[in-house]
Amino acid sequence: MTGINIQSPWSHMLINKEKCVETRSYSLPEKYVGEELALIETPGKSGKFKARVIGVITFSHSFQYSDEQEWQTDYNRHLVEQEDKIYGWKEDKEKHGWVVSDIIKFDESQPAPEKKGIIFTNNCQIVIPTGV
């Protein structure tokens, strides 16, 4: 299974269904539309844990925000603060929303592969618990 690397706290918000749109500066690659992806939670700046697989996420599609107002109006779905210097709106960059269609949350995290890509990670060996 392919995995997607998402930093904490965004990964936590997604797996707990608080956030239903992941924002990026590019559209979701077509090959991952409707594809189950291992959700690899990475520590980001905190660095307090090793990357781990916390569940499985599926995106139905992506779209491009046409302007800052549209992005601000969609705050309740993406939860990115306007003032966020890294992930907030930037006039000189495209902003895309990846819409979550399904989440499977693991009761216990599983180890992430040692070799991870920058965004996507191939060959994630995970066990999806039964009855989830």
Least confident of 59-63, 64-68, 117-121: 117-121
Residue 79 DSSP one-character state: -
| pLDDT for residue 132 | 56
The lowest-confidence range among 6-10, 14-18, 73-77, 111-115 is: 111-115
Averaging pLDDT over each range in 5-9, 83-87, 114-118, which range is the top one? 5-9
d(CA 23, CA 25): 7
Are 11 and 39 spatial neighbours (Cβ–Cβ below 8 Å)?
yes
Q: pLDDT value at position 131?
A: 65
Predicted confidence at residue 11, as pLDDT, reads 95
Q: Residue 39's closest CA among 65, 68, 25, 19?
A: 19
